[in-house]
Structure 1
């Protein structure tokens, strides 16, 4: 079974539902500190948490936070939850619309998409969504605003996956695509 490092408890719940019996470690402080000081400021703590998880599983270790995804992948054997989604977006081709809820996610997500072969993308911040009582609705509204500009829509953060159910068009979300990838 895989082991996950999360910065949001809701994502741990989602992944447990998709992959029952997985190991989950939640450390919200990693995202808080990465947002204020940058992902490199938490690199040592991320590596320590990942080492903990590697001791608890013989399966893959996955980081579910897009903001710290780059620093997490510096640890051998660790993958980002959003990498399989980025790969799928590249395979689909065309212009990719990217919805993010945190500014700290923009740079790591766009770099990941480019690494996977996405050349044409438009990124939109779901203003005020993070921490709001209507988080998923704001994500869905932002995704709808991108449809005229994009061939495929990516919900960049794993915490956004629930917004897919509010939309009447297909979107790519990392939890489901990562679960498929991990069970192959």
Structure 2
């Protein structure tokens, strides 16, 4: 059965997406590839700097999958928002769809209102997310404000997931004058469950996984 390949820059995402698969897409086949060095490089030298390593990594994954009967993948879902745009640009060379996990979330955000607040816990994610929202908005006028959640990423790196999500939820509660709040990184998704306000809070894993599986199925069904 053709699988969806998920590229992560942290191993914490693997059980998150497996749980979403089990809940919303039972029977779907996911393959996980974890490469934390890509985010380290992107934060140090910019997202474009990871293109050669990312291309080689995905090409190797495709070659390895092709060597195993029935183990190929029909699409790639990149769960790191910082390198998402760079990854999308590699699709023609790889010959399969390459999707960034946050694009469906961005599309939903620009439909939800004109005042969009973006929260991120690493600064390198802010510009790519702003650019993605502007791309999805097209001619629609939107106001995009970005917020870096101070002190959160250090907790994530220390393995303090509860503290990380609590800090993100606190930052969400401090946002005013927004029609919709975007959690820019997949790792932030759990904070949405801790928020009690009335402003919609969007995260990327669930809609991103649905889009990735749809793309993989379309590839498998193509003649």
Deviation at residue 105 of structure 1 after TM alignment: 0.4
- Structure 2 matches for 1:77-96, cutoff 5 A? 77-96=97-116
Q: Quickly say closer, same or farther: Cα 1:174–1:53, change in 2 above 3 A.
A: farther
Deviation of residue 19 (structure 1)?
Answer: 2.0
Q: How does 1:64-83 map to 2 (within 5 A)?
A: 64-76=79-91, 77-83=97-103
Does 2:41 correspond to 1:33? Answer: yes
Distance 2:18 2:145 in 1: 31
CA distance in 1, matches of 2:179, 2:62: 38
CA gap of 1:113–1:54, structure 2 versus 1, over 3 A, is farther
CA separation of 1:43 and 1:183: change in aligned 2, threshold 3 A: closer
Answer with 1 or 2: which has the greater Rg.
2
Structure 1 residue aligned with 2:69:
none
Find 2:206's aligned residue among 176, 180, 184: 176
- Where does the alignment leave 5 or more consecutive residues of structure 1 unmatched? none
Q: TM-score, normalised by structure 2?
A: 0.77
Deviations 1:17-38 (A, max 9, x none): 1125301000111111111111
C-alpha distance after superposition, 1:12-61 (max 9, x if no partner) = 22112112530100011111111111112211111122223444333221
Moved over 6 A (4+): none
> What's the counterpart of residue 46 of structure 1?
54
CA RMSD of aligned residues (A): 1.6
Instruction: Provide the C-alpha distance between the structure 2 equivalents of 1:82 and 1:153, rounded to a whole number of angstroms.
Output: 13
How do 1:14-25 residues align onto structure 2 when only pairs under 5 Å count?
A: 14-20=16-22, 21-25=29-33
Q: Is the 8 A contact 1:5 1:49 kept in 2?
A: no
Give the secondary-structure state (helix, strand or coil) at the position aligned to 2:73.
coil
CA shift at 1:181, angstroms? 2.7
- Structure 2 distance, partners of 1:129, 1:58, is 34
